[in-house]
Amino acid sequence: MKIKTLKKYAGGMALLTLLGLLPASCIKDDTAAVKETTLTLTVATRAGETVGNNEMDANEQMKTLRVIVARSSNNEILYNEYRDEIDDNASQYVFNFGELTIEESEDFDFYAIANEASLDLRGSGITSLEEVTNTDLTALKNCIINRDYNEIVEGNPLQIPQTAFKTIPVGAGEKKTATIQLEFVVAKISVTFTNQTGNSLYIDGLSIEDIKPDRGFLFDPNGAEISTVVMPENSTCTAVNGSERIWVGTNQPTTVKAYIYPTVKDDQNAFVLKANGYEDLELNREDGSHLTSLDRGEWLRINITLIPKVTEVYPDIEWEVVDWSSSEVEVPSFE
């Protein structure tokens, strides 16, 4: 019995000796290649900033924020984080993702959506962002939305959604920091009247015609256009909710606004500002080029000073297109 036991023991020792002689590369350690990785993501918003001395309106500020993190390779969702306790005028929000388990290096997709309650995603088949699955992510990334953000709900304007998508490479064991910039899903047009006539008056029929598409992308399409976009029969932008008649007093400036989806680019036809009783005005730059389109996150600001001239009112008009978070402007003046 002792001899058999010794033989087994000796055989075991021989096996251990043989394994000890093998190079380390021949022995696979599945856990050694997997490293815990951390990522700090700053989501920057346009809503908390000042543009050309004009504060953002309350419905343009970030009130809620959701970030979805998924592996680029297979859309596996690792995080779906939602925040609704965000300070007014906040310009950023920071997420810490501390348990990204990866081998070597991997790409991750980050989807950021602010003010999701104003979105209607039913056309994409997604009923809830809270319960979105990995099979929904392709539809989410390519989602087309069509809600009219000039709508008034229970006396209040809709919160304007902001979104961003970014693929970020992360190395195993890395302590990564990254920033993702939110953009509004629509463009904005505002018209501000300053009345120097000494008398209150009405402006009737203020409009820019044929510039109001019926839908747009949820996320930045990187130059792609929607083949199904149509100009509805009523595609005139009136820059005022519910009425084409604007009361302009003398005590302080009067501003009206509208939100539109990115306009279909047309290099030939300029935007034309119209109002009853006034000459039509093509919006042309100082170099003679036309303003022919607005992209998501752009703001067309038109300033009109009403000046008395003998028997009529003369409108002195300036306009500028600004980024919603930048004060860099182009300002043609029409004397």
Residue 194's pLDDT is 96
Residue 5's pLDDT is 33
Q: Taken in order 289, 292, 296, 300, is the CA torsion positive or negative?
A: positive
Q: Which DSSP symbol is given to 131? A: T
Cβ–Cβ under 8 Å, residues 116 and 46: no
pLDDT tens for the chain, 335 residues long, are 333 333 333 444 443 343 344 444 444 444 445 677 889 999 998 655 555 555 678 899 899 999 999 999 999 999 999 999 888 778 889 999 987 888 788 999 999 999 999 998 877 788 889 999 988 998 899 888 989 998 888 888 999 999 999 999 999 888 999 999 999 999 999 999 999 999 999 998 888 877 777 888 999 887 666 655 555 555 566 654 445 689 999 989 999 989 999 887 666 778 889 888 899 999 988 888 888 889 999 999 999 999 998 788 889 999 999 887 543 333 333 33
Q: Using CB atoms within 10 A of its CB, is residue 210 exposed (0-12), middle (13-18) or buried (19+)?
A: middle
Instruction: Report the alpha-carbon angle 164-166-172, nearest 5.
Output: 145
From first CA to last CA, the distance across the chain in angstroms is 114
Q: Of the candidates 164, 296, 168, 301, which has an alpha carbon nearest to the alpha carbon of residue 224?
A: 296
The three-state secondary structure class of 256 is strand
pLDDT digits (tens, 9 = 90+) for 115-167: 999 998 877 788 889 999 988 998 899 888 989 998 888 888 999 999 999 99
Q: Which DSSP symbol is given to 161? A: P
> Chain-centre distance of CA 110, in angstroms?
13
HSE of 14 in the Cβ direction (CA atoms, 13 Å)? 6
Residue whose token pair is 């930045």: 220
Residue whose token pair is 């346009």: 46
Residue 267's pLDDT is 65
Bridge partners of residue 318, in order along the sequence? 303, 333
Q: What are phi and psi of 89, to 5 degrees?
A: 65, 15
Cβ–Cβ under 8 Å, residues 159 and 113: no
Which domains does the chain carry?
34-184 (2.60.40.2580), 187-334 (2.60.40)
Tokens of 33: 């290649």
Cβ–Cβ under 8 Å, residues 250 and 197: yes
Instruction: Report the alpha-carbon angle 157-222-150, nearest 5.
Output: 15
Quote the CA–CA distance of 321 and 315 in Å, as a whole number. 19
Question: How would you classify residue 187: left for phi > 0, otherwise alpha for psi between -120 and 50, otherwise beta?
Answer: beta
